[in-house]
Amino acid sequence: MNDFKFRQNRLYCEDTPVEEIAGAVGTPFYLYSFRTLTRHFQVFDEAFADVPHLVCYAVKANSNIALLGIFARAGGGADIVSGGELYRALKAGVPPAKIVYSGVGKRIDEIEYALREGILMFNVESPQELELIDETAARMGKRTGIALRVNPDVDPETHPHISTGLKENKFGIDVSRSLEAYRRAKRLSSLDIMGVSCHIGSQVTKTSPFVEALERIRRLIVLLREEGIAIRYLDLGGGLGITYDRETPPHPTEYARALLEASREIDCTFILEPGRVIVGNAGILVTRVLYTKETEDKRFLIVDAGMNDLVRPSLYQAYHEIRPVVDEDREERVYDVVGPICESGDYLAKGRSLPDQKRGELLAVMSAGAYGFAMASNYNSRPRVPEVLVRGGEYSVIRKRERYEDLISGETIPERLIAG
């Protein structure tokens, strides 16, 4: 459910016409609904109301500090995977004690930063990382909380690029080796073993892979407690999917019910790391038709948004519904909706039936709130687009459109090296 609705054939975000915003800020731009963001977070949080829990929003999905601030004010924490995400979370008001640091490749300077700030815990992904965090904490006179990210070897039945819980994936410590890794951690004096972490993938649309992974983690927790290793937190990661096309993912209450049923004997505080399920359907990408073009085989809509703005269709062959911002009764035509980037893979949709479109008309790329701007780039030296937040009948630009000057910020011409 989201707050992008048509009124008299015109698309609104809450109580604000999308074409009004387009006229003011130009295109392309990302547009988010405050009402949808807050409702999605609240529904997810309330689904786990019967157990001790902490919702740590997955910053990677959409890292704009305005959105992070919304979730922080709702009581949420943050799941981070870099020093930059830690910086964003802190600037947005997320308490360090509600931050968990995941990710397979933490640099030493990032570890030091997190130790200085006093985050809740690191989700450790390898024995070498475990040793480095202990050594760094000892050198800094710190003691820090850790969980080991355990790879349960469970197929999440999602796109292979976003599957993270199989033995062949780079993430986590194999479940068969995890007990020995915990024994090793117990011997390290600057580490406080706080929990077990598990994340099997993204855009998962069934509860069964989550339950299967949890069953394997539950058995590990029993073994750990038998060895005197107290487990206080169970970090179940994120990954719950949304509807882009015809998917029927479980509602957060169904998801919570399945997990809690499978973990009845586990006396832990649960950490959840939702990302896409919170922000995915809370945002759209608004773009304008630059040209229409026909060949013997195809009709193209060439728009001003490209794969540098929204890479998911090109990278994952992902489906996004596309709607005219002004939905008039016209003859339907089949189009490839493509961008201006010099790549044949630069497209937003292929073979899509839409009302006949003309130059200058606006299109909305739906369900673009997650892994949209967060994965945007300056490819082809294109300035990144603005982000806009709507609340009721008001809107605010929460990230300005980049200028050409921004493209070369930090670059220099070393005359003494290139002269002559």
- Strands 10-13 and 173-174: what pairing? unpaired
For residue 43, what are its two tokens?
Answer: 């529904």
Query: Cα separation of 80 and 96, whole Å?
Result: 11
Q: Contact, 389 vs 396, CB < 8 A? A: yes
Q: Contact, 185 vs 148, CB < 8 A? A: yes
3 state SS of 220: helix
Q: Contact, 232 vs 144, CB < 8 A? A: no
CA 96 to chain centre: 20
The active-site residue out of 13, 56, 268, 342 is: 342
Helices (H), 92-229: 108-117, 127-139, 178-186, 208-226
Non-local CB neighbours of 116 within 8 Å, separated by 6+ positions: 140
Query: Cα separation of 222 and 211, whole Å?
Result: 17
Active site residue 342: yes
Nearest alpha carbon to residue 101 among 276, 279, 278, 271 = 271
Query: Cα separation of 366 and 357, whole Å?
Result: 17
**Residue 336: exposed, middle, or buried by beta-carbon count in 10 A (0-12, 13-18, 19+)?**
middle
Letter for the amino acid at 109? D
- 83's enclosing H/E stretch is helix 83-91
375 DSSP 8-state letter:
G
Q: Contact, 186 vs 130, CB < 8 A? A: no
Q: Contact, 117 vs 78, CB < 8 A? A: no
CB atoms within 10 A of CB 55: 25
3 state SS of 244: coil
Rounded to the nearest 5 percent, the helix, strand and coil shares of the chain are 35, 25, 40
- 292 DSSP β-pair partners: 301
- CA 276-282-284 angle, to 5 degrees, is 105
**Residue numbers annotated as active site:** 342
